[in-house]
Structure 1
Amino acid sequence: MAHRNFRKEDFFKDEGSDLYQVEFRKGDVGEGADLVVERQKEDGEYETLQAQMKRHNDRIFICWSEPFYGRVIFDE
């Protein structure tokens, strides 16, 4: 399985809600059906999240209550 890392700084505030979003192109992470979002903990280990995901055109947005360091895992 492949993955794409993201940083806290990659998130931006969604204007229509209190959530923060990080954006990926659909071509970079697939269609979204097999996406797994993981947050990096302070000890460097990862925990799986049930994050809200939105799609718009060829983009996928991962939404959470605050920015975090993490990764998206997907099938290539």
Structure 2
Amino acid sequence: MRPTKRDDDAVVDLLDVILRDGAVLEADAIITVADIPLVGLKLRAALAGMTTMTEYGIFEGWDWQYRRRARDEFTGEDQP
């Protein structure tokens, strides 16, 4: 039997790598009208799974609040 690779496996593999390892996207753009620069944009985005984000200290405050809220709901501490 010969190994085969389906075309849709590439998308799943790419998504797995991005969620596990993360990716940083950077873009610079200048909006001009009549060769006159009007607006400059500098964009930076980090894309990763929440586990990876919290390992690198991104969304650390959000993660702490989310876990506390989930714990309180589970234990019933926030109910009167």
The structure in which a higher percent of residues are helix is: 2
The alignment's TM-score, normalised by the length of structure 2, stands at 0.20
RCO higher in structure (CA 8 A, sep ≥6): 1
Choose between structure 1 and 2: higher strand proportion.
1
Larger Rg: 2
Q: TM-score, normalised by structure 1?
A: 0.21
